Structure 1
Amino acid sequence: MEDTLTITARKAVLTGLAMVGATAILAGCGTAPSATSTKSAGKSSYVPCMVSDAGGFDDKSFNQLGLEGLESAASSIGATPKKVESADQTVYASNISSLVNQKCNLIITVGFLLADATKAAASANPSIDFATIDDSSTTADNVRPITFDTSQAAFLGGYAAAAYSKTGVVGTFGGAQIPTVTIFMDGFADGVAYYNSQKNKDVKVVGWDVDSQKGVFTGGFDAGTAAKQAAQTLIDQDADVILPVGGPIYQSAAQAAKTANASGKSIVLEGADSDTFETDPANSSLFLTSVEKGIAQATKAVVLDSAKGSFTNTPYVGTLKNDGVGIAPFHDYAKKIPSTLPAELDKIKAGIIDGSITVKSPAVSK
């Protein structure tokens, strides 16, 4: 493995679906908010609140992680949090308004798709603190973005997928085609390309083309027929490691994988956002690893900052360096992966942190 890799141009690898990583630039990176707090001796009058995206608070992914952070912070200060779940995009604005009317001190909106509704509400209510998870486009004095350079962690996930694959084909698909989804897919494909360049291999990526920014999407974040079919499309192309990106859609991918495995295949998944091995025991046997975002701890810290009067609009950006993103343990697959893989991933992580390996997703600039 080379110690230093600076990539300035993308190259097609076989099908053109894997590509060589480019320089990472992530503007406006704030340091991680402080997560320390002293438990309140009594009940706090501070009211922290949250609006989910359409995936719901039981998605075992980013909505659920956000809620865990909210509830943990509220518990530590003796506050009673409020939450409202969005059935679809048509209720974002009304859900935020309902929390404004309930005298919330901080309203956290979960997901890129709530950007417009959050911006309007923050402008109309300058005395209320707002925070956005996975949206860096909403900027105001009373809005703090909580974002993650997930391409860095997904790069590790892609490398691991390529190292594990028995068929020489791996895949990824998404829910909605938005930057917070495609940033995973870009990093995943870059990691596969890096594996190929270091090992002189030709592992293919199906489901996503970084150069054209085209691939397989379900059109939303619901588990169901579309998500299962998307996963099956990749399985039919011989992919044996699949990264579904989009909250509950992975649950349908798990169904497709189990059906394929019952017919003699050996399909594994990589989770997105949370360590899905831990959050979804019913499907844990399928997960090679997960590409994680530290949503819960970042959310908790932002709530605590706001509660103690230290709210800031400086964006928090989770990276490998500040442990805001990463990959989960290999759990049941720890003895099934190449023995050298953990050390290789540690070296790659160090290279990304020190800048000798650079990773960029086009989603970062959007």
Structure 2
Amino acid sequence: MKKRITALFLASIMGIMTLAGCSSAPAETPAEEPAAEETAAESLKISMVTDVGGVKDQSFNQSAWEGLEKAKADLGIEIGYIESKQDADYEPNLETLVDGENDLIWGVGFKMADAILAAAGNYPEQKYAIIDNDYADATPDNVLGVLFKEEEPSYLVGLIAGKMTQSNKIGFIGGMDVPVINRFRFGFLAGVKAANPDAVVDVQFVNAFNDPAKGKAVANQMYASGVDIIFHAAGDSGNGAIEAAKEQNKWVIGVDRDQNDLAPDNVITSAVKRVDNAMFNVAKELKDGNFAGGTTIVFGLAEGGVDIAPTTSKNVPADILEFVEAEKQKIINKEITVPGTEEAFNSMN
């Protein structure tokens, strides 16, 4: 039977921490062995396999690694990672971490769902966790799923875009046309519409999370067409959109992490997805003897798992921030339900 951890439980356990700042990945990452940072011999060992974006993607994977780095610093847990260069690397990389006798192995990203499921079946005593995937009723007892309500922070940055656009032309660049990215997409569309019904949003997908050149090309095309704000949800590909905004002195909205540091005058806000919080919290629960295998944890605004970037106040006027904060509280109080699918978005019309 499918099990989910309730928002009340999540709210209590998420209160244990708030991550601040960014940490860089270790200098060496051998292809055949995880880059491990050792602590006490008796400590827990947790490692992760990145998706093809890599651990320095300035986005999703980097946030996950920062969560493990905090687990090392605060909890004394031994940590490591292996980067995947292509999808075919997922299974052998997971196998390497099994051989490394990890207490918990993470798969970072929905693209690893099949590889994690196969590994969990092959090694039923090994604990696994995966970001952005829910196996629903088929979640193995040795697997923990972690999902986020990406639509919620996307709605908030959509409000900002709708209020700040001067051309009423806004862009959305997605990594792939898949459910997790569409939660960003439709939440953003709903926010733009709520703030500015006259604005139109150009939606395009680059079909890759590790192609910044293509992300930049799509962004340049959008800016040339009159778009003045772009929201990207495309991992490393979106870094190309940020570069285009910087070169053309346009506005762009980051994703996953606070990406203002990449272009301080151009990244007006970011839809922050606290993968770091999730990684740390699960590590703490494991150290405390708790592992919620067979379940899926869902993190939203109410649980502190998503939000807009703390640097938003640098480039967004105070009156708009006040408006956004009021709407945020309405979401937390369940006065607003943000759509995460096309069907839900269309039902709002």
* TM-score normalized with structure 1 length: 0.80
Paired with 1:172 and 1:282, the residues of 2 have a C-alpha distance of 19
- Which of 234, 239, 252 aligns to 1:251? It is 239
Aligned to 1:298: 278
Q: 1 CA distance for matches of 2:78 and 2:343? A: 35
Instruction: Determine the structure 2 residue equivalent to 1:60.
Output: 58
Match of 1:134 in 2: 132
Q: Is this contact kept in 2: 1:62–1:273, CA < 8 A?
A: yes
Correspondence 1:173 to 2:173 = yes
Deviation at 1:316, TM superposition (A): 1.6
How far apart, CA to CA, are the structure 1 residues paired with 2:201 and 2:329?
25
- Tell me which moved more, 55-64 or 235-244: 235-244
CA distance in 1, matches of 2:234, 2:284: 28
Tell me: CA distance 1:275–1:117, structure 2 relative to 1, closer, same or farther (3 Å): same
Q: Structure 1: how far apart are the matches of 2:77 and 2:243? A: 40
- Structure 1: stretches of 5+ with no match in the other structure: 1-26, 208-215, 262-266
Contact 2:68-2:276 at 8 Å conserved across structures: yes
1:125 alignment counterpart = 123
Indicate which of 314, 335, 340 corresponds to 1:332. Answer: 314
- Measured after TM superposition, the shift of residue 363 of structure 1 is 7.6
Q: Quick one: higher RCO (CA 8 Å, sep 6+), 1 or 2?
A: 1
Q: Cα distance, 1:308 vs. partner?
A: 2.7
Q: Which residue of 1 aligns with 2:160?
A: 160
State the alpha-carbon separation in 2 of the partners of residues 112 and 245 from structure 1.
Answer: 14
1:13 matched residue in structure 2:
none
Q: 1:48 to 1:348 in 2, by over 3 A?
A: same
Aligned match of 1:358: 337
Query: Residue 345 in 1 paired to residue 327 in 2?
Result: no
* Distance of 1:167 and 1:111 partners within structure 2: 35
> How far did residue 159 of structure 1 move?
0.8
Aligned to 2:68: 70
Aligned to 1:147: 147
Counterpart position of 2:199: 203
Name the structure 2 match of 1:17: none
> Between Structure 1 and Structure 2, how many residues are aligned?
313
Contact 2:273 2:307 in 1 (8 A): yes
User: What is aligned with 2:214?
Assistant: 226
Q: Distance in 1 between matches of 2:217 and 2:85?
A: 23
Contact between 2:45 and 2:79, CA under 8 Å: does it hold in 1? yes
Structure 2 letter corresponding to 1:206: D
| AA partner of residue 180 (structure 2) | T
2:22 corresponds to: none
- Distance (Å, rounded) in 1 between the aligned partners of 2:282 and 2:167: 44
1:51 paired residue number: 49
Q: Counterpart amino acid of 1:342? A: L
| Equivalent residue for 2:259, pick from 262, 265, 276 | 276
1:258 shift after superposition: 2.9
1:75 offset after TM fit, Å? 2.9
- Do the aligned partners of residues 348 and 226 (structure 1) sit closer, same or farther apart at CA in structure 2, a change above 3 Å counting? same
**Cα 1:299–1:310 shift into 2, 3 Å:** same
Change (3 A) 1:352 1:206: same
Q: Write the distance in 2 (CA, Å) between the matches of 1:181 and 1:137.
A: 18
Counterpart-to-counterpart distance in 2, 1:124 and 1:312:
19
Counterpart AA for 1:70: L
Match of 2:23 in 1: none
Runs of 4+ in 1 over 6 A off after TM superposition: none
SS in 1 for 2:303: coil
Identity over aligned residues, as a percent?
A: 30
SS at match of 1:346: helix
CA–CA separation in structure 2 for the residues paired with 1:87 and 1:160: 35
Q: TM-score, normalised by structure 2?
A: 0.84
List runs of 5+ in structure 2 lacking aligned partners.
Answer: 18-38, 345-349
Q: For the residues of structure 2 that align with 1:130 and 1:74, how far apart are their CA atoms?
A: 18
Using the alignment, how far apart are the partners of 2:96 and 2:266 within structure 1? Answer: 40
1:228 Cα deviation after fit:
1.3
Select which of 91, 104, 107 maps to 2:105.
107
- In structure 1, what is the Cα distance between the partners aligned to 2:306 and 2:213? 30
